[in-house]
Amino acid sequence: MESAIVAAAAVATAATDKDAPGGPLAGVRVIDMATVVMGPYAAQILGDLGADVIKIESPNDTVRIGVLHRTPGMTPLNLNVNRNKRSVALDLKDERERATALELIGTADILITNMRIDALRRLGMDYDSLAATNPRLVYAHAQGFRPDSDRARLAAYDETVQAASGLVDLAQRAGDVGEPVVLPSIFGDKVAALTIVYAALAALVHQRATGRGQHVEIPMVDTLLAFNLVEHLQGRVFEPPMGPTGFPLSMNKGHRARPTKDGLAMVIPYTPQNFRDLFAAAGRPDLAEDPRVNGEFIDSTRDGEALAELLETVTPRLTTAQWAEVCAKHSIPYGPVLRLDEAAEDPYVQGGRLLDVTEHPTEGAYRVIGIPLAFSATPASVRRHAPLPGQHTHEVLGELGHSETQR
């Protein structure tokens, strides 16, 4: 039964590929030798951009574990993060299968892995070993902490990365809560994945110009710490410090969605004129005379929280739709509050085809997370549905020249 499912999926996927555009990375081969989300998400993006992504699947990849599925291993997370890939089942602990994996890596432009460096060395899959036979290889290695640090061998998960990068501290301070707060998103994994993408593409440009690959390290903690400090380093930019860390507007405890007459809206006036126009629209022109909104700028550090409380006394005077109209007229920053359970029915989401329903050859109807980019000449595309484990093993090994018996 399993072989029949794989065969049906292969036929349907091939039909999907046939008429799809190549994308800007057509002709680039990527080996995804990563687990969980960070590395696979980076490889998925490269696949969306047209790369031929081959996923070397070890037994029991955690992204395939979950209670929601129609076929074992075909979880919601897997269906999107492993799209645009071909799956090859190889057990790297088996000497013969590891040799096949090394042969496959020898055909690649980019390798993405998040295995620990000690394991990679034992397998002969560290950068030095692979570059000896494939000097063109861009070797993107991501792990929690820098490999040259005393934390290199620590297990790292998104929660620990959020903590070690200062994000838990920022969230706790901004929320003014007693208990530490972890953002309800695998923030570290996804920021690191985006960093893998741009780092690998930069190294690919160098490879195309020189014929040489290189070793690219992407430590998650370093990546997220640098990301957080763009705005939050603040007074600590200076030496000696001129103030604490924390971007005043983001750390403002009133920096949140506002209640309207019939719901919620993110109404965020930034300038003194924004505040004056908002107060007038709410029928409170008297508040526009407040000296705090009549200077050259809003002092968020001094007045931010008080003005936020004042805003919440006037926003319930109009409906969400009325505030959308007022904010558009006066260029006041505004955004509707999207309920994720209702996202598929949102006109904006539908207009961008961000949650289209499509048919998976084995899983039936499912929603595909759209590609948030538009290329005028080389459009990105979802050409392949997420594969079953090992679905393309025979196909890919055949391309290596392996006989039917070897496959």
Question: How far apart, in whole angstroms, are the C-alpha atoms of residue 363 and residue 385?
Answer: 10
Say if residues 54 and 396 touch (Cβ distance below 8 Å). yes
Considering only CA atoms, which of 362, 403, 399 is closest in space to residue 88?
399
Query: For residue range 294-322, what is the model confidence (pLDDT) as tens digits?
Result: 999 999 889 988 999 999 999 999 999 99
Mean pLDDT value across the chain: 91
Query: For residue range 346-375, what is the model confidence (pLDDT) as tens digits?
Result: 999 999 999 999 999 999 999 999 999 999
Question: How far apart, in whole angstroms, are the C-alpha atoms of residue 134 and residue 331?
Answer: 55
Residues with Cβ within 8 Å of residue 257, at least 6 apart in sequence: 264, 265, 266, 337
Got the DSSP string for 97-134? HHHHHHHHHTT-SEEEE---HHHHHHHT-SHHHHHHH-
Question: How far apart, in whole angstroms, are the C-alpha atoms of residue 370 and residue 316?
Answer: 35
Per-residue pLDDT band at 407 (split at 50, 70, 90): low
Considering only CA atoms, which of 90, 116, 112, 113 is closest in space to residue 103?
90
Does 17 have pLDDT greater than 60?
A: no
Torsion angles phi and psi, residue 8, rounded to 5: -65, -40
Share of the chain above pLDDT 90, in %: 83
Question: How far apart, in whole angstroms, are the C-alpha atoms of residue 4 and residue 6?
Answer: 5
Residue 392 Cα distances to 52, 85, 127, angstroms: 12, 9, 26
The confidence score (pLDDT) of residue 23 equals 95
Alpha helices in 32-94 (DSSP H): 38-48, 76-81
Bridge-based pairing of strands 110-113 and 138-143 is parallel
Query: For residue range 37-76, what is the model confidence (pLDDT) as tens digits?
Result: 999 999 999 999 999 999 999 866 778 888 899 999 999 9
Per-residue pLDDT band at 2 (split at 50, 70, 90): very low
